[in-house]
């Protein structure tokens, strides 16, 4: 299990934004992963996607790593941010914009505003 934990730790720290998800950013394989990937894609965020369906060790390992029971899981600058419900709330409240800006992560503010307008 240490190898998987080390692999996850390296992945989380190697990119500014990492999404552990079911499927890929281009072909999500569950609704929750699709929602988070869709938001990040729409906002133009450059992120690394990790398909947990491709490796059972990573699928369980990420849950142990974060002590969070569900997937998807979003990490920004090595910090666990949350799953689908939390990310959705953060987008709608502009918290995610702030987190991206504070961490030097480029994103399309107009796209983020459009998401909020559509959900107002």
Q: Is 30 labelled a binding residue?
A: yes
* CA nearest to 15, candidates 81, 82, 75: 75
Q: Are 107 and 90 in contact (CB under 8 A)?
A: no
Sheet holding 73-76, edge to edge: 48-51, 17-21, 73-76, 79-82
| Residue 115: exposure state from Cβ atoms within 10 A (0-12, 13-18, ≥19) | middle
Annotated binding site: 30
Annotated binding site for [2Fe-2S] cluster: 30
């Amino acid at each position: 299990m240490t190898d998987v934990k080390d692999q996850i730790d390296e992945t989380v720290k190697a990119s500014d934004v990492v999404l552990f998800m079911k499927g890929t950013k281009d072909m999500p394989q569950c609704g929750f992963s699709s929602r988070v990937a869709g938001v990040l894609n729409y906002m133009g965020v450059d992120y690394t996607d990790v398909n947990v369906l491709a490796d059972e060790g990573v699928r369980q390992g990420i849950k142990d790593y974060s002590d969070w029971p569900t997937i998807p899981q979003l990490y920004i600058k090595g910090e666990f941010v949350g799953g689908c419900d939390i990310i959705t709330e953060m987008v709608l409240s502009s918290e995610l914009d702030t987190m991206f800006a504070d961490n030097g992560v480029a994103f399309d503010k107009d796209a983020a505003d459009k998401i909020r307008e559509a959900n107002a």
